[in-house]
Structure 1
Amino acid sequence: MSYLEPLIGAELAEPVELRVSSFAEAIAEQYCNASCAVLFYGSCLRTTELEGQMLDFYLIVSSYEAAYGKSWLVRANELLPPNVFPAEHDGLIAKVAVLSEADFHKLNGPEASAVSVWARFAQPSRLVWCADEAARKKIIAAIARAPVTLFELTLPVLGIQPQTPIRIFHRGFALTYSAELRAERKNRSGSVVDADLDRYERFGLATMATLQDQDPSESGELSFAEAQKRWKTLRRNGKFLTLARLAKASGTYAGGIDYLAWKINRHAGTNYEIKPWQRKWPILGAITMLPRLIAGGAIK
């Protein structure tokens, strides 16, 4: 067990509002025996604001075949994970990302082709529904990989001077935010850390201790040049995958383009309005809106 796992287990077990746990239970019931765990994360967890917000859940399933049966959704989730679906319960709305246990473990590690999963789970989350103790242990082990991945990729680009956990998290999250098409303002990555400095100090120290105790054969230590090359690849992959997932969402997520505009307006302070033709052809609509938003600084 790493130094991180006890911290992660305790954090995942922290209570949430009853409506959140009820929502998670409803999500799990929809997928019956395929459901392993439901995780709650994101801005609604940090602020505890639920009304009028879009909650963020990850549903972890045993396999895509068990979750969807004989459906094209199996292949879509395998090729371009996760699948994302809208959900509504007790007056709350959410988006639900679906990953298998195997993909959740992989995408929290350095072998992931993009930052989207491990960058999020290096931040706080809650295990709001779980099938059993075995599933809980797998979730903890997978999430324990996320801050290790962040540190392994960030430390080489910081230079040789001693680094504090807070500085590593600040720099690491800034790099992950630049590796996706993000609507958040430039200082958003830093504000995530500053909102809970004690948490990131404790998790950072545990991450550094875990790295020191790693078997050399398992270490992902990179040189400066190797790390720079890796971040360049992650930035390229992240931008492409954002567009690809948006295109896929047109088949799984009704109103996806309206959600994209809502999220951009909320985080970037813009007032972008979706035109009727963009709802009719959401993929083309999204593609045409992105260059304008990037040029205007709404998406970076």
Structure 2
Amino acid sequence: MSDKVLDIIRSEKLEPPARVNAVLDKIEERHPDRVLAFVYYGSSLREIENPDKMLDFYVLIDSYRKAHKSILRAWLNLTIPPAVYYLELEQDGVVSTCKYSLMTLKEFEKRSGKDAFHSQIWGRFSQPCVLMRAQNESIAERVYKARTKAVKYMASQSAPLVAPSATAAEIWGRGFYESYRTELRPESSVGRSTEIVERFNERYETISRAIFGEVDSKGCFNISTDGAKSLSRKWFWRRVRGKPRSILRVAHGALTFDGGVDYVMRKLKNHSGVDYKPTPFQRKHPFLTAPIMGWKLWKMGAFR
């Protein structure tokens, strides 16, 4: 029997412009013979022709140890995935900036559904994204199926909260809102979740029909209320446990690439308006000073 959600995920394709392909080539050069596939996501996917938008990729690899030059970075990638790298590439006078995250395909599959308590992967990759440069059809299918699992699990973790009757926008908007609240994010959880659903409303309508069936006369889906209270408690504990995990990931990101501290501070300033100037010592020793920086940024309102 055909899986309608899987068919939708398979259909999400894109022919990337030359600058995107050039960045992918550079990433493959950095990690030779380790890259199994790329998953392109984020705001630049929605404005792909805008060179000012930073490119975001999850780079799915076969081995942490073989993908990193440093044993420490490989260990950090294993214990606090993903490892985040930064890349700039100039081509024909245009500078493309890129942030990419390394994760093994096996770990990506594991974190795409109910086996993962936190929504970092299944929340993010139930949103629009595109598979690129899969090594073969088998790997492509593994990524498609992992993303299908992510979509279905996000639906199951969202719908009961707005049951018994809700529109597609209400279902997915609530899910992304809850997911963003588990992280330390500089932008508004409400605004971000609303923007994502509104921009791709037709996609979420189609997916919702595949999962919940047809809408009623009011344009709403009929949803079971079973487990709504326990699901609310689960999201509460995701928030409690998710915030410290986010701090660790920020510290990990600052460690992973040159200029990482300044990149994180620029991103926070762009989204929250908080302008924190790290000291030379903090730039040189991001891991040691990350707890102090994180606390000061929290007090200044960089995270909502």
TM-score (norm 2): 0.85
Shift of 1:138: 1.0
**What aligned pairs does 1:67-78 form with structure 2 within 5 A after superposition?**
67-68=67-68, 71-78=71-78
Cα offsets for 1:273-296 (capped at 9, x unmatched): 333343133245443343444344
Unaligned runs of 5+ in 1: 210-220
Quick one: higher RCO (CA 8 Å, sep 6+), 1 or 2?
Answer: 1
Task: Provide, for residues 71-101 of structure 1, a one-character-per-residue CA deviation record: whole Å limited to 9, x for no partner.
Answer: 3333322211111111223321211101111
Give 2:184's aligned amino acid.
Answer: L
Alignment of 1:240 with 2:241, yes or no, is no
Contact 2:43 2:53 in 1 (8 A): no
Q: Contact between 2:85 and 2:101, CA under 8 Å: does it hold in 1?
A: yes
Structure 1 stretches of at least 4 aligned residues deviating more than 6 Å after TM superposition: none
Alignment-derived partner of residue 166 in structure 2: 163
Gaps of 5+ in 2: 214-224
Shift of 1:256: 1.7
The CA deviation string for residues 91-120 of structure 1, in whole angstroms up to 9 with x for no partner, is: 212111011111111111122132111111
| Number of residues of Structure 1 aligned to a counterpart in Structure 2 | 287
- Label 1:252 to 1:297 Cα distance change in 2 as closer, same or farther (>3 A): closer
**Aligned residue identity for 1:7:** I
Deviations 1:250-293 (A, max 9, x none): 43222222111111111223433333343133245443343444
TM-superposed deviation, 1:3: 1.4
Q: CA deviation at 1:169?
A: 0.5
Superposition RMSD on alpha carbons, in Å? 2.3
Report if aligned partners of 1:55, 1:94 keep a CA contact under 8 Å in 2: yes
Which of 116, 128, 148 matches 2:120?
116
Matched, 1:282 2:286: yes
Cα deviations by residue, 1:2-44 (Å, 9 ceiling, x for unpaired): 2111111111x22222211221233124323221101111111
Q: Which residue of 2 aligns with 1:180?
A: 183
Contact 1:50–1:92 (8 Å) recurs in 2 = no
Q: Counterpart amino acid of 1:74?
A: A
Name the % identity.
29
- The change in CA–CA distance for 1:271 and 1:248 in structure 2 (over 3 A counts) is closer
Match of 1:2 in 2: 3
Q: 1:78 to 1:273 in 2, by over 3 A?
A: same
The question of whether the paired residues in 2 share the 8 Å contact of 1:40 and 1:127 is answered with yes
